Amino acid sequence: MIDRVGQVLGGRYRLLAPVGTGASATVYLADDVVLRRRVAVKVLHDGLADDSQFLKRFRAEAHNAAALNHPHIMAVHDWGQGDVPYLVTELLGGGSLRALLDTGHRLDVAQARQVGLEAARALEYAHKRGLVHRDIKPANLLFDDEGRLRIADFGLARALAEAAWTEPAGAVLGTARYASPEQAQGGSLDGRSDVYSLALVLIESVTGEVPFSADTTLGTLMARVDRPVPVPPQLGPLVPALAAAGVPDPADRPDATAFATLLMAAGDLGPAAPLPLAGTTTLGDAELDPREPTTLYVAERQLRADFEPEIMRAPPGTTTDGITIVSEGEAQPATRVLERGPGAKESRADRRRRAKAEAAAAAALAPSASDADLPAEVLHADSVRPPRRKWPWIVAAAVLVAILAGGAAAAYVATRPETTVLTSYAGRPAAEVQAELEARGLEVTQQQESSETVTEGLVIRQDPAADTKLTEGDAVTLVVSSGQPPVNLPDVGGNGVDQVTERLAAIGIKVGDVTKQYDETWPADIVLGYADGTPAVVPKQSTVGLQVSAGPKPRTIPSGLVGGTKEAVTAQLQGLGLKVAYAEDYSPDVAQGLVMATDPATGATVARDSTVTVTVSLGKQPVKIPQGIVGMSVSDATAALQDLGLSVSGVQGNPSKKVSGTTPAVGTEVKPGSSVTLVTK
């Protein structure tokens, strides 16, 4: 990889210092010279610049990644592919989880769950939009200054996977350590592959060891095929969640939503302690100020044209304020580093004043029109031998001085520029002030600055200040209000709507549309986040929408439960997040031990965690041998028992006599179809 410190990519991103290097890219701390902010720029390997297939995929994935707007996904500001492809992202000062672990620190269980929950929420958001990360690892889990997690490099892994170049030997091992079994086998991937990788990362963050990590890439990949991830006992309450995420078959593995639910089910672990963030760079601002050398692309020349019009008129090779114009044309040339020319410390106004002073001096020393009338001995006095008397020479010298002085004065009066005394332009429209000053021959530059009090488009202040005398060609800078400063939207997930409304109102943001959606984790009326498409930074007084939980999605009692076994029906209802209670009853149609009914019945809609009563059949209801057959004839008693669904197996005694009893005895309950023996006296 080429050291690109000091270069400017895309005409606006000045690379200050490398903060991380990998097999496929180097990440730089950079200045956005247009918006005047610090950013991170990931410059990809030079070999990728000639890979047309990669560049095509890179463009598509960069667009997809830039469209993601989630508090736990790194924001992508810009991308480009000049002489190298690059991505511009937000700058996170907390460093990566990889850097934290490399310091020897290990997370406790509560910290690991917090990291896992934030990552799972980000993955849930991306997976619902059809984006699979494919490269979840500690180096791609970054933190801001307050310890909030961001997932980086969405889409980049897929673009690199389709590139036609080869990484350095062994370079893929770092990613292979966290690859899912389906990645190892070259199978199709969905979001559950990211969940598997996240589980490995969480295990390493607590134990310091990655399960199945072998000495070779192939060994690492093949060790986890068809084998569940062994979760060490020191993960404590997180063991069930990580074991579920580490099963080899993705069909049996939870998705990101379910994985977050399992992490929450680990119980009360107490508040997670702040992470000992590794940080991004230890360099101070003085060490990051790359004043020499610098680079100017044609793109930057065009960007600066609104502020410095003469830049566009300057031919190639011209040095303006110490920056040399590189080339003409619309295309961005290859990156070049140019040393600043002499006079870089001299402003344009200083150069103009110096040039005018030199011109005035030259005019004063030049022969005037009246010189032609002077005697030759005066014009060439140094070549004439002086006479004996000195007074003629003195007179001639006096005449010459007077003439030269008059000529110089005339030249100065003729060339003296018009003088303008500045007034205070604060509070006036910038366009109006610029037109007025340019009409007086002054050069005007506008600089935008946000303001809490000055309306957009009005002048905040000026340089030079009021009462300064300027001459034609001098420069004036107007600092113009761009409106109220933008606001970084805070993370509002997990709070009530009223609480979020008050918090946003305190920073000048209003709550607009509130959209409710079902959520398996948060109860009803808890804020999930901002409406889709809401940027992370918005102008003050903006209105933003909220996504609010409607609670878990209602469950529908499924069909096919009646006639099933008690165990099977119980498992099916519990799988829907419902509780089960039991009852028993007789049924002429449903065999004993099978489910004969549910309450609520099939098709009914109930809330998650509701209780469903399952009635299990005791079989057909027993029949009581009636008392009334005593005293009947054998034939009448037989008919009466048959009407009850019983049969007569015989007569004990004289069949011509009256019935005196039965076996089983009269009044006994027996199953339908049972045999009864009649007893006579």
Distance CA(322)–CA(513), nearest Å, equals 52
Q: Are 546 and 514 in contact (CB under 8 A)?
A: yes
DSSP string, 368-401: PGGGGGS-HHHHTGGGSPPPS-SHHHHHHHHHHH
Report the first-to-last Cα separation within the chain, whole angstroms.
Answer: 114
Token readout for 329 is 């044309």
Q: How far apart are CA 175 and CA 59, in angstroms?
A: 23
d(CA 238, CA 229): 13
CA distance 540 to 504: 10
Indicate the helix (H) or strand (E) that contains 156: helix 156-161
DSSP-derived secondary structure for 181-246? HHHHTT----HHHHHHHHHHHHHHHHHS--TT--SSHHHHHHHTTT-PPPPPGGGGGGHHHHHHHT
* Tokens encoding 464: 């030079």
User: Which helix (H) or strand (E) covers residue 436, if one does?
Assistant: helix 430-439
Among residues 31, 32, 51, 135, the one annotated as catalytic is 135
- For 396, counting Cβ atoms within 10 Å of its Cβ (0-12 exposed, 13-18 middle, 19+ buried), the class is middle
Supply the DSSP symbol for 632.
Answer: S
546-559 per-residue burial string, b: 16 or more CB within 10 A, e: under 16? bbbbbbbeebebee
652, 680 Cβ separation under 8 angstroms:
yes
Q: Which amino acid is at 112?
A: A
Token code pair at residue 638: 């037989």
> Is 108 one of the catalytic residues?
no
Q: Are 196 and 120 in contact (CB under 8 A)?
A: no
SS3 state at 79: strand
- Which are the catalytic amino acids? 135
